[in-house]
Structure 1
């Protein structure tokens, strides 16, 4: 991977991924991170449920 460049990585796997680990070296930081993919129905509902609990509106 190079600095000051778009570094694209393709993951072709049948597995569902839930986390991403980034090992950043102390050379100036990470400016942008874009992840592309699709959420499952359960994954799409999870942020909404967390937001409702934080707002105190969960049933």
Structure 2
């Protein structure tokens, strides 16, 4: 499990290397979305095509 700089996004373990799982716990900050983007870019470079699971905990419409 890896966390973004401000902690609003956490990368969760996934059963496949081409599946990214992120949990969003709070309002996403700019540094956290940039971190999430870099993780996603690296996965796309490594696998070409990826799947992504977004878990939104504590979501209030």
Per the normalisation by structure 2, the TM-score is 0.31
Q: Which has the higher contact order (CA 8 A, sep 6+)?
A: 2
More helix by share: 2
Per the normalisation by structure 1, the TM-score is 0.31
More strand by share: 2
